[in-house]
Amino acid sequence: MKTIGLLGGMSWESTSLYYQLINSGINRRLSGLHSAKIAMVSVNFYELEQLMAQGNWDRIAEILVASCLKIEAAGADVLLICTNTMHKVAEQIQAAISIPILHLADATAQKIRSDNKKTIGLLGTRITMEEDFYRGRLTRHGIEVVLPEDSDMDIIHNVIFDELCKGKCIENSRNEYLRIINDLHTRGAEGIVLGCTEIGILIKPQDTEITLYDTTLIHAEAAVEFALR
């Protein structure tokens, strides 16, 4: 079994899901008392959020690279960045380490393609929705991306940082997300990428008939496959 490296803490709410999902996935495959081999470093998200507000992505990359080098030194065979947004600096991280990054957007795209879907709606932080580092990665896999209206992007972004990263699930926010999901569907989205690792805490498959791609679940499943390959 290979050792899975986790760069966590962004937020710790979703990182705890990664740990649970990967371990349960390994145990489901191997049974008994089997669990995953994991090397994890969890950062202080407050520090990174302050740097994000300043637009200081170079410093963010420095902090995350230092953490990833610790993960590699601990014996990890692969790295998972346990957040969609911080994949903005994935290339800088990959250049600094020798183990491969299991890219969240690639794993998600492969799942979408396996379902024979070509057009998806994307929910996430405003950075993830607007910038090309994530959306462009999906596009390069032949997937067309439909984005929420600008005012809806604000709702999605604010709920993530003000509620979900703090473990809060508010019914009104769930209703707003479902409204936005329905709007994306009417505009041609065949499925919806929950492109923030916390959104799955709020929105579940039973909440809508529209196909959801929970990136936390997909990433964790890909890690299990890698570890047992």
Catalytic residue IDs: 83, 196
What is d(CA 18, CA 28) in angstroms, rounded to the nearest whole number?
15
Choose among 226, 227, 221: nearest CA to 24. Answer: 221
Tokens 């709020």 -> residue: 202
Pairing, β 119-123 against β 144-146: parallel
Contacts with 159 (C-beta within 8 Å, 6 or more apart), sequence order: 170, 173, 176, 177, 202
Other CB atoms within 10 Å distance of the CB of residue 35: 13
Which pair of structure tokens corresponds to residue 209?
A: 């008939």
Strand partners, 211: 191
| Residue 203 one-letter amino acid | I
Pairing, β 119-123 against β 78-81: unpaired
CA distances to 36, 41, 114 from 74, rounded to whole Å, are: 15, 10, 34
Cα dihedral 17/23/27/29 (nearest 10): 80
